[in-house]
Structure 1
Amino acid sequence: MTVNTIRELLENAAHGNPEKLAITLDGDRYTYAGLFERVNQVAHYLTTLNLPKGSRIGIYSNKSCDQVIAILAIMSTEHIFVPITRLLKPEQVKHIIEDCGITCIITDTKKIETVKATGFSGKIISYTPTEESDVSFEEIYKCYTGKHACDIKGHDNAAITYTFSSTGNPKGIVINHRALFDGAAIVAKYLDIRSDDVISGILSFNLDYGLNQIYTALFKQATLAIHKFVLPSDFFTHLINDGVTVLPLMPIHITQMFDEDPHRIPKPEHFNKLRTITSSGGNITPLMIKNITTHFPDAKFYSMHGLSEAFRSAYLDPAQIHIRPNSIGKAVPDVELYIINEEGEACKPREVGELIHRGACIYKGYWNAPEETRKRFKSIQILDKVLKPEGNLTDEIVVASGDYVYADEEGYIYFVCRKDDMIKTQGYRVSPYEIESVVYENIPEITECIVFSIPNEEIEEEIVMVYGGKRELPKNEILFELKKHLPNYMLPAQIVYNPNMPRKSLHSKQIDKEALRKEFV
């Protein structure tokens, strides 16, 4: 028997709602009974490999129903699921394989050549038969029964997720089953997910935000409609034809979907089933809010904030999106958030400090990175000047996020910058996020903007702004607008147009600030 795991959610759905549609993509459709049978067959096969408990099994493939089956199959064993972003190159895939010691990889025919190029010598499983793999899902379905029993514990490690950037090798974050289970329960709670919901599977199943769509659907026994975002027109067709009611997005998707002739976007009445939209993984701009509320007027829009070390920390009540559009909101259920200064004292309203996450959804730590783990995962003693746990207990772990934030008088939290991003210039501390917010609010022609600093001996640090849009704007025109809203010491010394921004992560499409900074330094 297993409890507090994603496997438990799958068993509950298969036994309690077997004929309900679980996942769909184009012509592929699986009921919960059908999904459960396929997952059990693959999980049964994995147990015959006699791998040691906790062995890492990678999934490197394009999005599909088979990919979801593979994820749930690994999570129905004592092994650890390692998602590998489909856009990674052989050397990056090789790093992940070697860093966490992957012994088996599940892939598709399009990615199997990349796996081979890494020199991988372990077991290769493909979705369809190919000479390059040891076995395929099709062969497993023919030879293995659907019977499979497991006894996974909530505290067992479930997944290791990796993110890439230009600043060095990636780090893997270790997540146990309980954290994934809690994340599904919490999201289902504050988003009011229902069993009759159709959740869009537009996000990549490589990081926790995208994976949570699978787990939340299981938690409420809803339907997951997988979609591969290529063209805005196809995306809108997906919303209409699949009857999507819950739409998880990243800011880049909001930009892409409305980067289209407005006359080609279906009228709002075509989206009357859509009731909930969420966004995480980047800044929400006024233009994004305007487009969402204009084209999806019946949907509630949730802006959310998560951490690398904890799934979800805060969300903004949709009723506040036009009142406090820049706020990340308040703590999600079962989480406490504290803001402390450098002395460890609670910050006053409007005082900037570090965000500390206590409670649910905290991950285990960084794989093979003890220094990074010690930097972020702290004893609750870090909050000694804020609260006193009963009995003087000190073994509880909290996350020191590295995010600089402040709260207003009503407790709504605002992101300022990462701890290492604060700019010191002319004797002042400057938040790059504050400058970026002014740009987005007042210069609609600019669709992307990143602000950072480079060394300048005369003034400590010099402010640089790089922006993207459909056309380059005169520098004086930009400065003229910024001067209306910012003091002189906050004005960028350099303003550069770059329509092809480097990306920090292949799956999130966030701008790589460090790559840009290196170009200037």
Structure 2
Amino acid sequence: MTPPPSRPVDHLALCGERGADALVLKDRTLSFGELEHAVGHLAAWLAHREAQEGWDAGARVASWAGKGWLACIMPLAVPRAGMVHVPVNPVLKPAQVAHILGDSGARMIIGNSGLLDTLSDGDMPAGCAAVEETACEHAAMAGDAMAPSRAAPDDLAAILYTSGSTGRPKGVMLSHANLWLGAEAVASYLQLEGDDRTLCVLPLAFDYGQNQLLSTWFAGGAAVPIDYLFPRAVVKAVADRRITTLAGVPPLWVQLLEQEWTADAIATLRRLTNSGGALGEPLVRALRARFPDARLYPMYGLTEAFRSTFLDPEEVDAKPTSIGRAIPHAEIIVMRDDGTPGGPGDEGELVHAGPLVAQGYWRDPARTAERFRPTPESSQYGGTAVWSGDRVRMGEDGLLYFVGRRDAMIKSFGQRISPQEIEDAALSTGLVAEAVAFGLPDARAGQAIHMVARAAPAVGSDRAQAELPKAMARALPSFMQPAHIHWRDELPRGATGKLDRAGLIRAIESAA
């Protein structure tokens, strides 16, 4: 099968009517003409900086800010300048940001002054400059503009960092084609229109969050980014901004259903979309009852291939636990344990082929080889596929159902979290000698983070128990904080001497 045609991702700024709203920020609204103007000016400023500093072609430029002008313009402006965008989640701590900057080889980080001030000299890699976002905007808009990109579809456009099973965040390499076709596919199956208004509540540093912007612009609609502290602010924004499209993850939907929704807010919503974890039948039923006229789209995705499946809203009431079928431009194969493709009634690993498959992990050929492998012989696309490690079952009707994850990753509040990163943070405090982190089912979080720890002998149990929660809060963002810390004098080991993670999980589950 031949991949569909694509264009450079920065051309998304040209998709809507020039006078129509494209970006509705807290302090201003940009039309599509003004969006294109801003993208061109920021791209020209970046290209000038590249020439001035003598950076190599394809230089990485990071952004670290809330959902303002900079964070929304960078995904289009950086690739237009021939560079690679590295968005950083604003909730990450300095040590995590330092890893991303160092690993990506970023030559510049542009961000909020309050965030940049938290970085020490040791956090900044050699040759990486820090620029405050307001100063960047003023300088860019005072200069010239750059014409739309002529990049090749396979040119690298972005590196999105996601936690991996070995602990350290790994950078997923996305091309112009990956981003363009992802936007086109989502706009197509969601049936987005030019009069749609998408409330962008999810972090823009993740594929699902970034696509809120890109798919809306592909359809010529308006993106309305929002940073919020409390779920009631989301409800208010839906009503005030006349929102038609709302994307979320299961824990957010739980919080939103606990809020009081006005008739005006409910009336404007045309569609609700979910990824980042299965909704489950009770949550599906609750959403359908609260928003009976909105079309509900359960979806499954992974950063390495963006989005894999969606369930048609017409089938949600009858099949509430399904993750649906392949999205446009995706081929989904269920590989049985014997290495052969499965069919209706079979269970196996979800394998994703097609032009949405990313280019691998940045500067990590070993981990790339583990997940990005040749497609099965039955594939219509051929080439490289992502072997997800997730198990699914194909129903007799051809719909897919999520079974479980084969690795130990934790999915809490819509975030994919590495247990090792939590364990490393605990050990780095010097308060514990050993630690094991894992997730257990939780109605609000999807999975609650549990950690079993043994106090460092020189510290003592009383001091360790008193000080560890505060030390963890300084080291990790809120969504990675253990909800429960269980203290033990000894941690069990298996036959090889490794800590018995599975045994610990069973013990905590049985005691709950």
Please give the range of the TM-score, normalised by the shorter of the 2 chains: 0.7 to 0.9
CA contact (8 A) 1:250 1:508 kept: no
SS in 1 for 2:134: coil
Per the alignment, do residues 315 and 510 of structure 1 end up closer, same or farther by CA in structure 2, a change over 3 Å counting? farther
Aligned-residue offset at 1:310: 0.3
Name the counterpart of 2:390: 403
Q: CA RMSD in A?
A: 3.3
Per the alignment, do residues 509 and 327 of structure 1 end up closer, same or farther by CA in structure 2, a change over 3 Å counting? farther
Between 191-200 and 225-234, report the one with greater CA deviation.
225-234
User: Aligned letter for 1:62?
Assistant: G
CA contact (8 A) 1:167 1:514 kept: no
CA contact (8 A) 2:13 2:39 kept: no
Aligned-residue offset at 1:513: 12
SS in 1 for 2:193: coil
Query: What TM-score, normalized to structure 1?
Result: 0.76
- 1:136-159: CA deviation from partner (whole Å, max 9, x where unpaired): 3213322x0234453211110011
Q: Structure 2, unaligned stretches of length 5 or more? A: 412-416, 420-437, 446-471, 487-500, 506-512
Per the alignment, do residues 296 and 399 of structure 1 end up closer, same or farther by CA in structure 2, a change over 3 Å counting? same
Name the counterpart of 1:5: 8
Pairing partner for 1:369 from 351, 360, 364: 364
* Distance of 1:514 and 1:412 partners within structure 2: 37
Name the counterpart of 2:261: 265
Pairing partner for 1:119 from 124, 132, 154: 124
- 1:37-79: CA deviation from partner (whole Å, max 9, x where unpaired): 1221111111112222111100111121331122321121111
SS in 1 for 2:247: strand
Q: What aligned pairs does 1:163-178 form with structure 2 within 5 A after superposition?
A: 163-164=162-163, 168-178=167-177
Residue 357 (str. 1) matches residue 318 (str. 2): no
User: Aligned letter for 2:321?
Assistant: N
Name the counterpart of 2:225: 226
Residue 86 (str. 1) matches residue 90 (str. 2): yes
Per the alignment, do residues 469 and 228 of structure 1 end up closer, same or farther by CA in structure 2, a change over 3 Å counting? closer
Residue 32 (str. 1) matches residue 32 (str. 2): yes
Per the alignment, do residues 248 and 149 of structure 1 end up closer, same or farther by CA in structure 2, a change over 3 Å counting? closer
- 1:451-474: CA deviation from partner (whole Å, max 9, x where unpaired): x9xxxxxxxxxx99564679xxxx
SS in 1 for 2:227: coil
Residue 320 (str. 1) matches residue 315 (str. 2): yes
Name the counterpart of 1:490: none
Q: What aligned pairs does 1:8-87 form with structure 2 within 5 A after superposition?
A: 8-13=11-16, 17-49=17-49, 50=51, 51-87=55-91
Between 88-97 and 345-354, report the one with greater CA deviation.
345-354
- 1:183-216: CA deviation from partner (whole Å, max 9, x where unpaired): 0111111110101111111111001111111111
User: Aligned letter for 1:39?
Assistant: V
Aligned-residue offset at 1:421: 6.0
Aligned-residue offset at 1:90: 1.2
Residue 109 (str. 1) matches residue 109 (str. 2): no
CA contact (8 A) 1:41 1:148 kept: no
* Distance of 2:477 and 2:13 partners within structure 1: 27
Q: What aligned pairs does 1:205-354 form with structure 2 within 5 A after superposition?
A: 205-260=204-259, 264-267=260-263, 270-354=265-349
Per the alignment, do residues 249 and 304 of structure 1 end up closer, same or farther by CA in structure 2, a change over 3 Å counting? same
* Distance of 1:106 and 1:59 partners within structure 2: 5
Aligned-residue offset at 1:419: 2.5
* Distance of 1:36 and 1:138 partners within structure 2: 16
Q: What aligned pairs does 1:474-485 form with structure 2 within 5 A after superposition?
A: none
CA contact (8 A) 1:77 1:152 kept: no
Between 59-68 and 191-200, report the one with greater CA deviation.
59-68
Query: What TM-score, normalized to structure 2?
Result: 0.77
- 1:125-183: CA deviation from partner (whole Å, max 9, x where unpaired): 22224xxxxxx3213322x0234453211110011111237952111110001011010
Per the alignment, do residues 520 and 511 of structure 1 end up closer, same or farther by CA in structure 2, a change over 3 Å counting? farther
* Distance of 2:241 and 2:348 partners within structure 1: 44
User: Aligned letter for 1:251?
Assistant: P
Name the counterpart of 1:428: none
Per the alignment, do residues 396 and 122 of structure 1 end up closer, same or farther by CA in structure 2, a change over 3 Å counting? same
Aligned length, in residue pairs:
431
- Percent identity, aligned pairs only, is 28
User: Aligned letter for 2:261?
Assistant: I
Aligned-residue offset at 1:515: 9.7
CA contact (8 A) 2:101 2:124 kept: no
- 1:255-285: CA deviation from partner (whole Å, max 9, x where unpaired): 221234xxx3324x54212111100001213
Aligned-residue offset at 1:25: 2.1
Name the counterpart of 1:459: none
SS in 1 for 2:89: coil
SS in 1 for 2:324: strand
Q: What aligned pairs does 1:427-506 form with structure 2 within 5 A after superposition?
A: 467=442
CA contact (8 A) 1:3 1:153 kept: no
SS in 2 for 1:325: coil
* Distance of 1:298 and 1:170 partners within structure 2: 40
* Distance of 1:403 and 1:511 partners within structure 2: 25
Q: Structure 1, unaligned stretches of length 5 or more? A: 130-135, 423-431, 434-449, 453-462, 471-501
Name the counterpart of 2:154: 155
- 1:348-374: CA deviation from partner (whole Å, max 9, x where unpaired): 433321111122311000112212111
Aligned-residue offset at 1:287: 3.3
CA contact (8 A) 1:377 1:397 kept: yes
Q: Which consecutive aligned stretches of 4+ in structure 1 deviate over 3 angstroms post-superposition?
A: 147-150, 164-167, 463-470, 506-521
* Distance of 1:469 and 1:277 partners within structure 2: 19
Per the alignment, do residues 92 and 375 of structure 1 end up closer, same or farther by CA in structure 2, a change over 3 Å counting? same
* Distance of 1:469 and 1:353 partners within structure 2: 28
